[in-house]
């Protein structure tokens, strides 16, 4: 079984001390490929260093909606420079987050649109972050001509799900799926997500799945197999087939070799 981690932040400072061990553990649990999602200019730079030093680690460049108020045209120019590297396979995270509102809505929307434009110029797929936007995110991306992307850590409703699927977007499934109460809605919706549209992600160091969350606060890519197992369980399908299909989906989206 091989698994493609479609979204993690192993460039986070919580991994500073033992990153090599974390990557080793991921590889030995079947997680052979990883995508580090960008959130700020500095973390994108650090992600690039990690990707240059390790095989089958790829990165995206982008400014998270939380950090939108810090974004400028100069930031975008610097991200474009980083994107000249072969390890860069996507643009993101970009999107909207009205749950925390760390940046004002108008800044979030402005830089979402600007980043969609840049992704399109560079022909990169988008990694979208959406939380509690009450359909505003959907309204915006519907009006744009999105060619390819993933809605990572999907937390929307049925209507949003089918709208994303209609646009040809992939759906990122996290360890929330394994959590008893919080994962209820997602487990129900998963039944209606076609297998060829599913990606898996830990979003580590956040969102530690069950049962690991009883033991450790910090999530890491080696915990991905429990998410794939849960998907196989809900879809009543063979875990090896499921993980291989999801692997291929991820390669198709990020245009990495298979």
* Cβ-based nearer residue to Zn ion, 33 or 129: 129
Query: Shortest CA distance to 64 belongs to which of 10, 131, 4, 19?
Result: 131
Identify residues 41-60 at the interface with Zn ion (CB under 5 A).
Answer: none
Residue 207 C-beta: closest distance to Zn ion, Å: 9
Rounded Cα distance, 214 and 171, in Å? 27
Cα 192 to Cα 123: distance, rounded to the nearest angstrom: 29
Tokens standing for residue 232? 């196989």
Please report whether residue 129 would count as binding Zn ion according to CB under 5 A. Answer: yes
User: Which of residues 206 and 239 has its CB atom nearest to Zn ion in the complex?
Assistant: 206
Q: 68 and 108 in contact (C-beta within 8 Å)?
A: yes
Site for Zn ion in 195-214 (CB under 5 A): 203
* SS3 state at 45: helix
Query: Minimum Å distance from CB 62 to Zn ion?
Result: 10
Tell me the residue nearest to Zn ion as measured from the CB: 129
Pick the piece of the chain touching Zn ion (CB under 5 A) from 12-20, 127-135, 154-162, 239-247: 127-135
Write the interaction track for Zn ion spanning residues 131-170; mark x where CB under 5 A is met and - where it is not. Answer: ----------------------------------------
Identify the H or E element spanning 8.
strand 3-8
CB atoms under 10 Å from CB of 214, counted, come to: 7
CB of 241 to Zn ion, least distance (A): 27
Q: Which of residues 78-117 bind Zn ion (CB under 5 A)?
A: 93
Supply the minimum distance, in Å, between the C-beta of residue 104 and Zn ion.
18
What the block records as the tokens of 162 is: 């089918």
Alpha carbon 104 to its chain centroid, in Å, reads 23
Instruction: Verify binding: residue 33, Zn ion, rule CB under 5 A.
Output: no
User: What is the enclosing helix (H) or strand (E) of 59?
Assistant: strand 57-61
> Which residues here bind Zn ion, judged by CB under 5 A?
37, 93, 129, 203
């Amino acid at each position: 079984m091989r698994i493609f981690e479609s979204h993690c932040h192993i460039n986070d400072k919580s991994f500073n001390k033992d990153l090599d061990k974390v990557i080793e553990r991921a590889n030995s649990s079947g997680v052979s490929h990883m995508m580090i999602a960008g959130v700020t200019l500095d973390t994108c730079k650090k992600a690039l260093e990690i990707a240059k030093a390790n095989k089958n680690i790829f990165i995206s460049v982008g400014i998270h909606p939380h950090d939108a108020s810090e974004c400028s045209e100069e930031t975008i120019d610097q991200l474009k420079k980083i994107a000249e590297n072969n390890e860069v396979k996507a643009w993101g995270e970009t999107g909207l987050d009205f749950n925390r509102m760390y940046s004002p809505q108008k800044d979030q929307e402005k830089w979402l649109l600007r980043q969609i434009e840049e992704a399109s110029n560079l022909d990169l797929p988008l990694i979208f972050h959406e939380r509690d936007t009450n359909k505003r995110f959907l309204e915006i991306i519907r009006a744009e001509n999105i060619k390819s992307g993933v809605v990572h850590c999907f937390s929307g409703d049925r209507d949003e799900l089918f709208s994303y699927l209609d646009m040809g977007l992939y759906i990122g499934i996290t360890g929330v799926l394994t959590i008893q109460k919080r994962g209820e809605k997602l487990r129900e919706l998963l039944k209606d997500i076609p297998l060829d549209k599913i990606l898996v992600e830990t979003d580590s160091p956040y969102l530690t799945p069950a049962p690991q969350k009883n033991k450790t606060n910090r999530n890491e890519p080696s915990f991905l197999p429990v998410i794939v197992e849960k998907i196989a369980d809900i879809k009543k399908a063979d875990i090896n087939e499921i993980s291989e299909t999801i692997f291929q989906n991820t390669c198709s989206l990020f245009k990495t070799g298979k």
